[in-house]
């Protein structure tokens, strides 16, 4: 996942006011996105547990939640997977004559 920038992972108290606001906004947005995608049948059991743990982490620590670069990578990987349209299986089967 080269070329991606991540929010700072410093402790919340060490962030500037602007960085704190950005982390709060990012956490709120991410919480909505992760909650929306939980339960998707395209997720593996591991991905479902990962999303659930991230939701709990954000809910527990609110905007003070720091998300590491590897966690961001996995979140992006899962969201990219879900962004792809599911294959239409009706095209794969021959219609009955």
Of 8, 23, 80, 1, residue with least CA distance to 47: 80
2 found inside a domain: no
39: phi > 0 → left, psi -120 to 50 → alpha, else beta; which? left
Would the pLDDT of 1 be above 50? no
User: For the chain, what is the domain count?
Assistant: 1
4 found inside a domain: no
- The CA distance from 50 to 37, in Å, is 12
Both ends of the chain: CA-CA distance in Å?
48
87 found inside a domain: no
49 found inside a domain: yes
Range of the domain at 72: 12-82
Residue 65 is predicted with a pLDDT of: 76
62 found inside a domain: yes
| pLDDT tens digits, 18-67 | 887 888 888 888 888 999 988 889 999 999 999 999 999 988 887 777 88
């Amino acid at each position: 996942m080269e070329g991606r920038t991540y929010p700072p992972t410093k402790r919340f108290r060490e962030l500037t006011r602007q960085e704190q606001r950005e982390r709060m906004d990012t956490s709120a947005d991410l919480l909505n996105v992760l909650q929306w995608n939980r339960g998707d049948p395209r997720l593996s059991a591991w991905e479902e547990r990962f999303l659930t743990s991230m939701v709990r982490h954000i809910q527990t620590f609110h905007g003070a939640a720091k998300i590491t670069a590897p966690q961001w990578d996995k979140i992006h990987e899962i969201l990219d997977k879900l962004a792809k349209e599911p294959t239409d299986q009706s095209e794969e089967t021959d219609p009955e004559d």
